[in-house]
Structure 1
Amino acid sequence: MTMNPDTAAAVPVQALGLGHFIAQADAVGKTLLVVLLAMSVVSWVIVAIKGLTLVARKRRSAAFLNFFWNATSLDAVAHEIATHGAKDPFSHLTSHAMHAQAHHAKYGAAKLEEAGSVGDFVTRTIKKVLDEETTRLENGLAVLATVGATAPFVGLFGTVWGVYHALVAIGMSGAGTLDKVAGPVGEALIMTGLGLAVAIPAVIGYNWLTRSNRVVLSKLDAFAYELHTFVSMGQPLASSEAAAPAAAPSVRALPGRPAAA
């Protein structure tokens, strides 16, 4: 039986593809595929976790700011934080600023880090909290930036490696026609496409999170200025001896800073 020339030509073409490329890949090619897969999983996990955290943080921050600006006094704000805890950057900053004011008013400048006036001590505390929040918001973004920058090159290296082996195999077989060259070379280009498929979502996620964090930090910095003014006015907190210890367990401790008594 004579096979149709079109059918004979279609058989090797249908055999080509991602599955055939993976099956024919050597240890280097398979390692690069695993690396790209790991990069993709890590970047998607980071974007998903930080995206959900960002949405929850925005909702909690909006609720706290609405309460803060409608509160009758700092006593009510302290009670709110002591009751529900500091679960967003704005309540975290407010809690530490009020604790710093109460601590300095009660104990004075007992140590070098507490030197200066109440305003100076509150200012240093606010700056430490802002640095802490900046670090927390930027956590994981370096991984996204690395994936976005290196994934295309990993895919390109896989393409170069695949093209090299394909050309060597073609040269050894002695068949240099276009149909024999285009298939293996086209398969090798799959690695470049995979590298771009990994890098593009990572870059988009990085830019989105960076922009969102910049907006949050800008609002937090403006709020810190207003908060410093309120706290430095010297308004006494009612029942500060009882309110401060109650709020302390709900507040993240600053590195190198003892909890307020």
Structure 2
Amino acid sequence: MSALELLTQGDAVSRAVAALLLAMSVASWVVILWKAWLLRGGTRDVLRSIAAFWQSPGLGEAAQRLQGFDGAGLVRPAVLALQQVAVDAQAGRGDLAAQGSLAQRLTRALRDALHGALRRLQAGQILLATVGATAPFVGLLGTVWGIHRALATIAAQTGGFTIDKVAGPVGEALVMTAFGLAVAIPAVLAYNVFGRVVGRIEAELEGFAHDLLAT
């Protein structure tokens, strides 16, 4: 008997648990594929964009050049923020955003740009962590419920114990355990791998911001 046949024979609780695990699996795989694409391009774009920036004669030229390099939009916002600080300084803006020394305004602009890039890089990590942490317990819920059904079936038998009467609930319970692990393992692996990649990109961006402030 296949896993699908076991689930179709289950009750409403078993089907609800299976549907929840399926939704968690679909959501995690969508995030995994999207983040794999984002981080693969982001790692390349950050290195190319930083190199292109330092080869540019000025901020304006750098912002133009980065349009062709920074497809992930991780470096160019920092350059545009620096441009805006320079424009505000020349215009003599008097609002609170323009208060403080030039170094302080540059620091705020780079910090905000860096935080925006990091928020984008971290997107989806919470979902992967949540799926990885909770999917085994959701599967365990289905397992416990399947065992409960099997025991209830045994208790209700009056003509003697037969294995075919409890094979369905027991098999369903085992399938739920496997389903929960199958959902959780890819999410946990992706969370750890993506975390390391994000850490490397974050280090590159922080080093770039530090170099900008030092120049």
Using the size of structure 2 for normalisation, the TM-score is 0.89
**Alignment partner for residue 200 of structure 1, among 173, 185, 194?**
185
RMSD (Å) for aligned C-alpha atoms: 2.2
Q: What one-letter code is carried by the residue in structure 2 that aligns with 1:144?
A: L
For residue 178 of structure 1, report the CA deviation from its aligned partner.
Answer: 6.5
Does the CA-based 8 Å contact 1:152-1:192 persist in structure 2? yes
Identity of aligned residues (%): 38
Tell me the equivalent position of 2:135.
151
Q: 2:209 maps to which residue? A: 224
1:98-247 equivalent positions in 2, closer than 5 A = 98-104=83-89, 106-174=90-158, 175-176=160-161, 184-230=169-215
Q: Give the length in aligned residue pairs.
A: 213
Match of 1:48 in 2: 33
2:81 is matched with 96
Deviations 1:195-254 (A, max 9, x none): 000000011111111111111111101110101223xxxxxxxxxxxxxxxxxxxxxxxx
Helix, strand or coil: the match of 2:75? Answer: helix
Residue identity opposite 1:113 in structure 2: A
Contact between 2:46 and 2:70, CA under 8 Å: does it hold in 1? no
* Structure 1 unaligned regions, length at least 5: 1-15, 231-261
Alpha-carbon distance in 1 for matches of 2:164, 2:11: 23
Using the size of structure 1 for normalisation, the TM-score is: 0.74
> Quick check: which has more Rg, 1 or 2?
1
Offset at residue 108 of structure 1 (A): 2.8
Amino acid at match of 2:65: E
Offset, 1:93: 1.2
Q: Deviations over 1:30-78 (max 9, x none)?
A: 1111111111011001010111011112222222122123334445324
Q: Which residue of 2 aligns with 1:70?
A: 55
Which letter maps to 1:161? W
- Distance in 1 (alpha carbons) for counterparts of 2:14 and 2:155: 20
